[in-house]
A and B are shown apart, each in its own frame.
Chain A
């Protein structure tokens, strides 16, 4: 009984995380690209050539560690206007965004 309860609890706890952990589905990807273009774009430029924030073109990101980029999206960069997007974006969302930026997707 206790085992069942614990399993159920673990399952419940894992559920949202599991939903988030996988790569975003096509609909979510479209939402992320829209966010990237229009909201990230207000500082980084809709064409990602930069603005108040730095350019986010593949050649600007090539030499940066992926993990740093993911963390920057999730936690922001203190001392700069880059805000933390955690809460709005999951780790998987941020990971996918970094990959999309590196591919130059949607440009």
Chain B
């Protein structure tokens, strides 16, 4: 990442170091006189980019993560052991709906911005390594099974683009066109075993899967007519089932990736029939199947309920009445608890479900604008972004005590490096 000799790169690096030094000073980690050494060094030897290595950390990354600051186009690199912020990286564009995946060495994060920007950041150096504007409007992405490819799903122009994970060079462009050539917005892009990506066409109501074993010859399989307005999708942690939520009708569309020839089946078809739905002020996210043993937990669209479903036969086994319309329904690693946050205007609350009893066991009020929750790798803490309070709160998942708060500007997504080794995250 430190190769390259352009003047622009040098200026950018100088700028990065300046901002990093300023940040470290703000964190009181670097005394004022010392902090000017890298700057002085850089001015004297402006062609020698390796000077920046002095700024990089020498440590593991298994307990690191990032926090998206949605309004300022920045990302914080955080340490989940020390519960502290290490770096703030700016210049990532419009992050109003941003998500991230990690390289499999867990050193780099790929951040997918709303404005079509794909940014690769270095967690150890706190730097933006590369950034490409690959579309006009994008929604999310995934990293391939072997870690060599990064795919991005786009709204404008509707489709999927695939990039080499190291260089961000484009490898494939897969427009989401129907028979008449109309492009669909693409949602629910995930990685799947067999070096595949699976994604869903929002406007066309279709699931597609692309086999990237030969990057020069992407093989696309189509599964049309899955239902109206699929708004998001997920893959089960074992990589077997791909399930799309439908906004335009009841039920979910499921593809068994172990036997895709069976086609798409409708599950939970009865759910919602004849029931008055509430206005949905925020689309639920299906990222990460909340699984606890055989049970899967998912948000009910337009209802103040979480559904519990038996993953053996995909039949509903219970509904848990909750505070508002669920947005994220996420299982603690191990699956004993499921944590839920809610759509506007009830987004000040988080509730915890015990997956044995299917009862609510805790209600927390972190503050207005709870946007995301992320567990530390083995689940002893959960980090919660509270947008309107400009903080990330860290809770103990046993005592439910607030352990720490980190300042962050309008925080949204929180992503820890443990995701690097999990299918679909």
Contacts and interface: CB of A to CB of B under 8 A. Distances in A.
Interface string B208-230: 00000000000000000000010
Contact of B96 (A45, A76, A83, A85): A45
A79 interface: yes
Given A51-B97, A83-B280, A84-B279, A46 B70 contact: yes
B194 interface: no
Nearest to B302: A83
Contact of B97 (A45, A76, A84): A45
A51 B279 contact: no
- Of B97, B229, B279, the most chain A CB neighbours within 10 A belong to B279
B247 A41 contact: no
Contacts, number: 63
A84 B282 CA distance: 12
Interface string B275-293: 0000111110000000000
B202 A52 contact: yes
Contacts of A38: 369, 387, 410
Interface residues of B, number: 29
Contacts of B229: 80-81
Interface residues of A, number: 21
B155 A52 contact: yes
Contacts of B280: 81, 83
Interface string A26-51: 00000000000111011101110111
B383 interface: no
Q: Is the interface of A mostly helix, strand, loop or mixed?
A: loop
Given A45-B97, A46-B70, A83-B281, A51 B114 contact: yes
A60 to B, nearest CB: 12
Nearest to B185: A52
Contacts of B187: 52
A76 to B, nearest CB: 6
Contacts of A83: 279-281
A51 B137 contact: yes
A63 interface: no
B345 A42 contact: no
A101 to B, nearest CB: 16
B372 to A, nearest CB: 12
A25 interface: no
A51 B282 contact: no
B137 A50 contact: yes
A43 B96 CA distance: 9
30 contacts: A37-B71, A38-B369, A39-B282, A39-B344, A41-B96, A42-B96, A42-B97, A42-B283, A43-B282, A43-B283, A45-B94, A46-B71, A46-B94, A46-B96, A47-B94, A47-B96, A47-B115, A49-B94, A49-B115, A50-B137, A50-B155, A51-B96, A52-B139, A52-B155, A52-B185, A79-B248, A83-B280, A83-B281, A84-B279, A88-B345
Given A42-B96, A81-B247, A85-B279, 6 more contacts: A45-B94, A50-B137, A50-B155, A50-B156, A81-B229, A81-B283
- Which 6 pairs between the two chains have the least Cβ-Cβ distance? A46-B96, A83-B279, A39-B344, A84-B279, A41-B96, A47-B94
